[in-house]
Amino acid sequence: MNNESKICQNCKQNFVIEPEDFDFYKKIDVPPPTWCPECRLQRRLLFMNERTFYKRDCDKCGKNVISMFPAGSHKKVYCSPCWWSDDWGAEEYAHDYDFSKTFFRQFAELYAEVPEMARIVNESSLVRSDYSNISGYLKDCYLVLNSDYCEECSYCEFLEQSKSCLDVTHALSCEKCYNAINCYKCYGSTNLFNCDECVNVHFSRGLSGCSDCFGCIGLKGKKYYFFNEPLTEEEYKKKFAEWNEGSYSRRVEIEKKLAETALNYPYRYMTQSRNSNVTGDFIFWSKNVFNSYEVISTEDSRFCHFLTFPVKTADSYDFTMWGGGVERTYECMATGGGQRDVRFCFMSWSQSLNLEYCWYVSNTRNANLFGCVGLRNKEYCILNKQYTKEEYEKLVPRIIEHMNSMPYTDAKGRIYKYGEFFPPELSPFSYNEAFVQGYFPLTKKQAEECGYKWKEPELRNYRITVTADQLPNGIKDVKDDILEQVIGCLHERKCDEQCTEAFKIIPSELEFYRAMKIPLPRLCPNCRHRQRIKKRNPIKLWHGKCQCVGSTQTNTDSTRNNADTPRYRNATPHFHGDNPCPNEFETSYSPERSEIIYCEQCYNSEVA
């Protein structure tokens, strides 16, 4: 079968379906998509609320709890202990299938009746970690989201198997780290980006196996380096003491210097390690994975994102978030735990088989569920109604045929037959409440033009007692009474980063800052999160060419049609000699970016 060009039903742009894509769709018996990969991802992310919280009462026990849903919403919400309790069951809300209505309308009616979880957590696995979401197995954690098996961490997301970390995004097996992004097995380090197996490294990016380095770019196995210059141990410790004094103004100076220095060194076209035959970015320990972003231990898959749980995922397409031993998963969001043959599902767990169009189902045996919400340990159910195996296998093909003959059409005229993920109209969250806003940011006008809901932020009326510019410059000057203060965020809610306007410092956080000599933050946790996210490349690929101009030549800004200023001269001979490198690749660095981008061979020649 040849490539097939299609026009996306959503953005109206062309996209291509490859022969191997058709093979996958045939294998799992689904039609090819009508939305392009980017729009499909955007649609899935719209259903996840990671960090927009409200206070409300549980509709079962009456306890005031933290919830993804505000008080007064038209949704019955149970706190996590009540939702997971055995004294109610979602089968109580079962519907007969009605062939006079579209499937998605019937699903929306069922979802409106079944109680929703206040927060998506494994409650029994949390110890003193109430302010968490989409997480499990946390101890003494605060505002830790999309994470598992962590202790004494705060303000982190996509953090796995880590301890004593603060303001960390996308990291595995780290300890005592601060303001780190995409790190693995790092210890006692701060302000890192794309580093692995580093100890006591600060304000650096692209380091591997380094220790006692400061302000460095692209080093491997180095020690006592300061802004990429080697020093003796005595010289390094003296320099480090001068710069690492816990001063906010000095930190701003360091970040500015690092940003300027970073443009003078080459970057690898993608961040990856221990892979075979992959394209995308932030891919690790994977094989035959394409057009994917932030995945670990994945094989034979495409269009996958945020699979950060270090247990193998295989043979999956358009799968976003979690993983953990799944196979043959398609167009799913936040599912995992050993599942197989799962299609068009959101938030389903635990070794279930043959799920389609299900939300919040958990099973420990052969499931076979279609269009179900909130069921546990059930099989052969449709719209939460129990059937025999024979009845189920006879009715499901009729429903699929009905979905094609009577498709759902949304307010923008987009058509949803069998094979499409849920229409955005069915998401319980507004665009600016959902996970999607962090990676595909839109204004209110843009979102509403696309047919997405928008929620005006609630006025909190905080009584701010100290503004960001009134905070002490150095951590050594911070008194214990800072714990009683309400600090005004520097952004003053004038940004597009879901600013909370004000924030407080908690005791464990202050202890961490003092021990690590880190100045108090000037931004609220939401704004700090979005600032970290903005440092990551977008979830998009461009065709690129290695910018290495030759083994003895010097890269200049003229390679990007700018001023003829020297930037980087290769330190070692490269395979292409004095000629420009011929290698091309797919990269998440757009052609307009200012960085020097090298292919794998040229980059390894410089950092190995």
DSSP 3-state of 5:
strand
The verdict on 261 and 375 lying in the same domain is no
pLDDT at 565: 53
- Give the whole-number percent of the chain exceeding pLDDT 70: 97
Do residues 403 and 418 make contact, with C-beta atoms less than 8 angstroms apart?
yes
Do residues 1 and 22 make contact, with C-beta atoms less than 8 angstroms apart?
yes
Does residue 175 have a pLDDT over 60?
A: yes
Do residues 298 and 329 make contact, with C-beta atoms less than 8 angstroms apart?
no
What's the DSSP call for residue 208?
Answer: B
Angle at 84 between CA 78 and CA 90, to 5 degrees: 75
> Residue 493 phi/psi, 5° resolution?
60, 25
The verdict on 204 and 303 lying in the same domain is no
Burial of residue 338 (CB within 10 Å: 0-12, 13-18, 19+) is middle
Residue in the structure block whose two tokens are 């979005």:
530
The verdict on 280 and 391 lying in the same domain is yes
Q: What distance in Å separates the CA atoms of residue 35 and residue 11, rounded to the nearest whole number?
A: 8
Beta bridge partners of 408: 416
Domain boundary residue among 405, 420, 449?
405
Locate 196 and state its tokens.
């692995």
> What beta strand segments (E) does 136-263 contain?
136-139, 142-145, 148-151, 154-160, 166-172, 178-184, 190-196, 199-205, 211-214, 223-226, 229-230
Q: What distance in Å separates the CA atoms of residue 163 and residue 178, rounded to the nearest whole number?
A: 11
Does residue 559 have a pLDDT over 50?
A: no
Locate 505 and state its tokens.
């410092």
Instruction: Please indicate, yes or no, if residue 74 is contained in any of the structural domains.
Output: no
What's the DSSP call for residue 468?
Answer: G
Residues in the chain, overall count: 608
Pick the closest to residue 386 from 365, 403, 372 (CA basis). Answer: 372
Q: What distance in Å separates the CA atoms of residue 138 and residue 120, rounded to the nearest whole number?
A: 13
Can you give the pTM of this predicted structure?
Answer: 0.93
The verdict on 182 and 225 lying in the same domain is yes
Integer angstrom CA distances of residue 140 from 143, 146, 526 = 10, 15, 20
Beta bridge partners of 332: 319
**Where is average pLDDT lowest: 247-261, 377-391, 426-440, 544-558?**
544-558
Q: What distance in Å separates the CA atoms of residue 67 and residue 542, rounded to the nearest whole number?
A: 39
DSSP 3-state of 309:
coil
Number of structural domains the chain divides into: 4
Instruction: Give the confidence band of 375 by pLDDT, cuts at 50, 70, 90.
Output: very high
> Residue 311 phi/psi, 5° resolution?
-130, 140
Query: What digits encode the pLDDT tens for the residues 404-423?
Result: 999 999 999 999 999 999 99
pLDDT at 553: 67
Q: What is the mean pLDDT of residues 125-130?
A: 93
Domain boundary residue among 247, 268, 289?
268
Q: What is the mean pLDDT of residues 547-576?
A: 71
Query: What digits encode the pLDDT tens for the residues 13-43?
Result: 999 999 999 999 999 999 999 999 999 999 9
Integer angstrom CA distances of residue 138 from 128, 154, 526 = 8, 11, 20
Residue in the structure block whose two tokens are 């004000």:
502
Q: What distance in Å separates the CA atoms of residue 530 and residue 54, rounded to the nearest whole number?
A: 20
Integer angstrom CA distances of residue 251 from 190, 510, 524 = 11, 17, 17
The verdict on 276 and 360 lying in the same domain is yes
Instruction: Please indicate, yes or no, if residue 503 is contained in any of the structural domains.
Output: yes
The verdict on 598 and 548 lying in the same domain is yes
The verdict on 572 and 525 lying in the same domain is no
Query: What digits encode the pLDDT tens for the residues 215-272?
Result: 999 999 999 999 999 999 999 999 999 888 889 999 999 999 999 888 899 999 999 9
Q: What distance in Å separates the CA atoms of residue 107 and residue 358, rounded to the nearest whole number?
A: 9
Q: What distance in Å separates the CA atoms of residue 66 and residue 142, rounded to the nearest whole number?
A: 13
Locate 511 and state its tokens.
């202890």
**Where is average pLDDT lowest: 102-116, 264-278, 537-551, 560-574?**
560-574
Locate 136 and state its tokens.
């499990």
The verdict on 259 and 352 lying in the same domain is no
Domain boundary residue among 268, 284, 308?
268
Instruction: Please indicate, yes or no, if residue 160 is contained in any of the structural domains.
Output: no
Q: What is the mean pLDDT of residues 179-207?
A: 96
Locate 574 and state its tokens.
């490269």
Does residue 276 have a pLDDT over 50?
A: yes
Instruction: Please indicate, yes or no, if residue 424 is contained in any of the structural domains.
Output: no
Q: What distance in Å separates the CA atoms of residue 177 and residue 164, rounded to the nearest whole number?
A: 7
DSSP 3-state of 475:
helix
Does residue 78 have a pLDDT over 90?
A: yes
Query: What digits encode the pLDDT tens for the residues 474-496?
Result: 999 999 999 999 999 999 999 98
The verdict on 368 and 484 lying in the same domain is no
Q: What distance in Å separates the CA atoms of residue 304 and residue 150, rounded to the nearest whole number?
A: 24
Q: What distance in Å separates the CA atoms of residue 92 and residue 166, rounded to the nearest whole number?
A: 43
- Give the whole-number percent of the chain exceeding pLDDT 90: 85
139 CB contacts (<8 Å, ≥6 apart)? Answer: 126, 127, 128, 129, 150, 151, 152
Does residue 557 have a pLDDT over 70?
A: no
Q: What distance in Å separates the CA atoms of residue 285 and residue 272, rounded to the nearest whole number?
A: 8
Do residues 17 and 40 make contact, with C-beta atoms less than 8 angstroms apart?
no
> Residue 20 phi/psi, 5° resolution?
-70, -25
The verdict on 295 and 396 lying in the same domain is yes
Instruction: Please indicate, yes or no, if residue 211 is contained in any of the structural domains.
Output: yes
The verdict on 312 and 392 lying in the same domain is yes
Instruction: Give the confidence band of 179 by pLDDT, cuts at 50, 70, 90.
Output: very high
Locate 531 and state its tokens.
């600032």
Do residues 408 and 103 make contact, with C-beta atoms less than 8 angstroms apart?
yes
Instruction: Give the confidence band of 561 by pLDDT, cuts at 50, 70, 90.
Output: very low
Q: What is the mean pLDDT of residues 182-201?
A: 97
Average pLDDT, the chain: 93
Query: What digits encode the pLDDT tens for the residues 325-339?
Result: 899 999 999 988 888
The verdict on 507 and 590 lying in the same domain is no
Locate 130 and state its tokens.
């109430």
Does residue 563 have a pLDDT over 50?
A: no
Instruction: Please indicate, yes or no, if residue 80 is contained in any of the structural domains.
Output: no
Greater confidence (472 vs 607) lies with 472
Query: What digits encode the pLDDT tens for the residues 347-361?
Result: 988 778 899 999 999
Q: What is the mean pLDDT of residues 153-166?
A: 97
Question: Assign residue 150 a region: left if phi > 0, alpha if psi is -120 to 50, beta otherwise?
Answer: beta
Range of the structural domain that residue 364 is part of: 272-405
Q: What distance in Å separates the CA atoms of residue 11 and residue 449, rounded to the nearest whole number?
A: 12
User: Residue type for 549, please?
Assistant: V
| Radius of gyration over every alpha carbon of the chain, rounded to an integer in angstroms | 25
Instruction: Please indicate, yes or no, if residue 300 is contained in any of the structural domains.
Output: yes
Q: What is the mean pLDDT of residues 87-109?
A: 97
Instruction: Please indicate, yes or no, if residue 33 is contained in any of the structural domains.
Output: no
The alpha carbon of 503 is separated from its chain's Cα centroid by a whole number of angstroms, namely 23
pLDDT at 558: 47
